[in-house]
Amino acid sequence: MHNDVKEILVNEEEIKQIVARLGSQITEDYKDKNLLLLSILKGSVVFMADLIRAIKIPCRLDFMAVSSYGNNIKSSGVVKIVKDLDIALEGYDLLIVEDILDSGKTLSYLSEILLKRNPKSLKICTFLDKPERREANICADYTGKAVPDKFVVGYGLDYDERYRNLPYIGVLKPEVYEK
């Protein structure tokens, strides 16, 4: 698994620092609000597990699964909701938690759907941001780290459902996904 990684972009220590910084910011910004964290499965679950422990105010948690990649390395642009929310959004300050903001197509579509469900507010927190790849007019309110346009895996990010359990963010060797 580690042999498939060309280079490490974000090591374990930097991940901890990023999560602590974001948790502190979110704690301060939402201290008088009704926070609901929405984890977009599967990629963000590792980040969400760390982030929720770094937030020092009461909050709730829900999950949503969407698919726009399938087994491809680029988004198809067609978003399918695989698992919807269990909690109604009215009265909540919704914070979508994502692993990576890439083209923005999926997150833009999802934000539109969720806003129609009348949350008090909607913001986005992403661990990684690839601004070079943006195709939709969307940006995160909380960003862990901007990364270059390289195929990254680890810390929840995958290629073909593998590499999510790497404890760092690494660049996948092209020969792995260009087969």
Catalytic residue among 50, 99, 102, 129: 102
- Biggest alpha carbon–alpha carbon distance for the chain: 51
Which residues does residue 64 pair with via DSSP β-bridges, in sequence order?
Answer: 40
CB 10 within 8 A of CB 152: no
Is 158 part of the annotated catalytic residue set?
Answer: no
Q: In 3D, which of 160, 173, 164 has the Cα closest to residue 73?
A: 160
How far is 130 from 147, CA to CA, in rounded Å? 5
Which residues are tagged catalytic?
A: 102
